[in-house]
Structure 1
């Protein structure tokens, strides 16, 4: 287990994920802040926070925010961004499947395309519920299996080793039935809404591939590890070209919110 977590930590430290968060999906954090109705004085935990796409705008509302992540380099980048934006919050290294926080400690627990990448979905869901107080809110944004990032992982799958037993595909968190099954009767008022974020950073599939094989850890790992690099590059070019319409892509995600029992 320690080896698996070390691999995950190293994967997200590769490339330049802070650039991905800032260049492509900066709007998702405020979406989640609004959906969870985060307000001054609330105690908020951002799980797998990365560089703070949710944590920083949440802190700017006046909430008391803790940003947690497995990868120290992402936390360091987030701390710098927070200082630049005048946001004050705590940054904590933490495993989403074993959070170092007391039970019932937070009014709101959020994660934006973060906790979905914890390898064991049940363990991660259990922790989200445990640290949220009864009556508190859980809010998640997750890439869907059918959307662009879900299809990116489907494209990478033939080029990477199979995951260890018990590890679930990350985009399952973008399936409403999967989220409902993970939380079960421990939450009420569970909502799941499919939305899209517009990404206009790429003119061609090749430019998408060049960017993602430079800055995005999972794509970098796949390209480095395969003995068919040219085939993978072609597959990524084709994926990007299929999804480009009028010089932009629409990336689908699932916005889920629930009240903890």
Structure 2
């Protein structure tokens, strides 16, 4: 088997997302929106790619689907298993795995889902091909991503400006929030994409409280801030940039995060 050129990047991702569990709680309403948008039906077989703490997988299972889910980060899968046990849904199959190398046979699922997850896999073409491979004929894919023009997409663009460049051949995650780029990426394997937008809200006492939550619970933000701990001036400047992005989206003690949903049927 050919050596994966992104092994080191994926190891860093596996480690940096380990602290995400508390923040994942706030994605549960979006998970319900995604499952409804995906038109999940009782008895369908569903794969949740980059499941994190399992919020989408558990929501789909509660809708009557037969669910498998995978993630790179074992610490998040431990939380997902606990969440499933609390919900009485211990039949969900949890697997540590990679969106670019899905460990499932061809034509295994009716639906493939991903919420703010597959977008971090470095090669969109490989990820899309894998999603299509494990779908049954006529199956569908549905996912949530962050548009580059809105808050979370802008935050990841800011992180990219202050971080070492991605390895050659890796695509920036916010591109997955551009409908034109998404349609192009899906085009070889799927029919015309359907899009819908939504807004997730994050409770916070101030823009600064929100930024601190991101520093503590969103791996790429945490890693960037930790890397500047020895340079207080640069750290303060970066925090000011974050606060300036957040402030226009802060109203009534809520930070408003706009997202994009995509759905398409396999050719």
TM category (shorter chain) comes to over 0.9
Q: TM-score, structure 1 length as denominator? A: 0.94
Q: Which residue of 1 aligns with 2:98?
A: 95
Note the C-alpha offset of 1:203.
Answer: 2.3
* Kept after mapping to 2: 8 A contact 1:125/1:183: yes
Deviations 1:215-235 (A, max 9, x none): 111111111123421211222
Of 140, 143, 149 in structure 2, the residue corresponding to residue 140 of structure 1 is: 143
SS of match in other structure, 1:100: coil
Of 82, 85, 97 in structure 1, the residue corresponding to residue 84 of structure 2 is: 82
Note the C-alpha offset of 1:4.
Answer: 1.6
* Kept after mapping to 1: 8 A contact 2:129/2:189: no
Q: Find the aligned partners of 2:141 and 2:14 in 1 and give their Cα distance.
A: 24
Q: Residues 185-200 of structure 1 correspond to what in structure 2 (within 5 A)?
A: 185-199=188-202
Of 2, 9, 17 in structure 1, the residue corresponding to residue 14 of structure 2 is: 9
Q: Residues 29-178 of structure 1 correspond to what in structure 2 (within 5 A)?
A: 29-87=31-89, 88-178=91-181
Note the C-alpha offset of 1:170.
Answer: 0.5
Of 28, 40, 44 in structure 1, the residue corresponding to residue 30 of structure 2 is: 28
Deviations 1:52-94 (A, max 9, x none): 1110011112211001111111111000001001113000111
Q: Find the aligned partners of 1:193 and 1:172 in 2 and give their Cα distance.
A: 16
Q: Find the aligned partners of 2:146 and 2:209 in 1 and give their Cα distance.
A: 21
Aligned residues: 257
* Kept after mapping to 2: 8 A contact 1:28/1:53: no
* Kept after mapping to 2: 8 A contact 1:106/1:131: yes
Q: Which residue of 2 aligns with 1:242?
A: 248
Task: Between 91-100 and 246-255, report the one with greater CA deviation.
Answer: 246-255
SS of match in other structure, 1:133: strand
Deviations 1:7-33 (A, max 9, x none): 1111111x3x111111x2210111111
Deviations 1:132-170 (A, max 9, x none): 111111001111101110011122223211111111111
* Kept after mapping to 1: 8 A contact 2:183/2:192: no
Note the C-alpha offset of 1:204.
Answer: 1.4
* Kept after mapping to 1: 8 A contact 2:148/2:178: yes
Q: TM-score, structure 2 length as denominator? A: 0.92
SS of match in other structure, 1:173: helix
**How big is the alpha-carbon RMSD for the aligned residues of Structure 1 and Structure 2?**
1.3
Gaps of 5+ in 1: none
Note the C-alpha offset of 1:187.
Answer: 1.2
Deviations 1:220-260 (A, max 9, x none): 11111234212112222222223212332221111100110
* Kept after mapping to 1: 8 A contact 2:157/2:174: no
Task: Between 72-81 and 220-229, report the one with greater CA deviation.
Answer: 220-229
Gaps of 5+ in 2: 1-5
Q: Find the aligned partners of 1:143 and 1:205 in 2 and give their Cα distance.
A: 19
